[in-house]
Amino acid sequence: MDTSTAHLTSETRAERERLAGLFADLTAEQWDTPSLCDGWRVREVVAHITMPFRTRPMGFAAGLVRARFSFNRYADRDARSAARAMSEAELLDLLRRNIEHPWRPPGGGQAGALSHDVIHGLDVTEPLGLPSPSPERIALVLGSAVDKQLKFFGADLGGRKLVAGDADVSVGDGPAVVTMPAKEILLVITGRRALDKARETPR
């Protein structure tokens, strides 16, 4: 698996371009569809995806202070505010204009930037029944930042090892092996889907 910065950068740009193409065809009803992010509609998720392109360091610092240094509280306020202030066309245009934006989350590097777009992209595409990223792109996310994701999202695999049936990647080191699509693994470890609800790959 190529986890070089150059490859991760190329995949990040490709994912943003893919999402921009999908979002361009959304109806008004779809923009207001509940996403996989609890309490957010599709429009709030798209607003959150664009947060790195709208936020300057001083503004981020001030917002974090107002949110009592809770990033989750800050991100929620920002997404809701941007979703109210910006139209669907403006959000889409912002994403399109920043496909090649060099943003990387602090401590996350280019793998973190790819993870951000892939995970939140799934927050939108899953409830709308739209295409997901390729298993290989999802495997890059799983292989590059899985330890941070498990810690951040607090996922408990219950002593099981999740093995992708469509990509060369696995998560966990338990004795019980469960085979499922890479997408399902990512949804499980990010708390989007319970492990017992995930779709396993038929044996």
Domain ranges (residues) in the chain? 1-133, 135-203
Indicate the SS3 state at residue 179: strand
Cα 160 from chain centre: 23
Q: How far apart are CA 193 and CA 185, in angstroms?
A: 9
Q: In this structure, which CATH number among 1.10.3470, 3.30.1050, 1.10.287, 2.60.120 belongs to the domain 135-203?
A: 3.30.1050
Indicate the SS3 state at residue 76: helix
Indicate the SS3 state at residue 178: strand
Neighbours of 37 (CB within 10 A): 19
User: pTM of the full predicted structure?
Assistant: 0.92
Task: Quickly state the pLDDT bin for 156 (edges 50, 70, 90).
Answer: confident
Report the top-level CATH class of 1-133.
mainly alpha
Lowest mean pLDDT among 8-22, 88-102, 106-120: 106-120
